[in-house]
Amino acid sequence: MDRIAIDMDEVIADVIPKFIKLYNRDFGVPLDLVIEPGNEVFMQIPEDVNQKWHEYINEPGFFRDLDVIKDSQEVIRALQEKYDVYIVSAAMEFRNSLVDKYDWLAEHFPFLDWQHIMFCGNKIVEVDVLIDDRIKNFVNCKGRPLLYTSPHNLLITEYERVNSWKDIASLLL
Cross-strand partners of 86: 5
* CA neighbor of 7 nearest in space, from 132, 139, 137, 156: 132
Which of the residues are catalytic? Answer: 7, 9
pTM comes to: 0.89
pLDDT tens, residue by residue, 121-155: 888 889 999 999 999 999 888 999 999 999 889 88
The pLDDT confidence band at residue 38, using thresholds 50, 70 and 90, is low
pLDDT in tens, 48-94: 666 777 888 888 999 999 999 999 999 999 999 999 999 999 888 88
Residue 41 gets which letter from DSSP? G
Closest to 41 in 3D by CA, of 153, 157, 123, 135 = 153
Residue 109 CA to residue 107 CA, distance in Å, equals 6
Return all residues near 115 (Cβ < 8 A) that are at least 6 apart: none
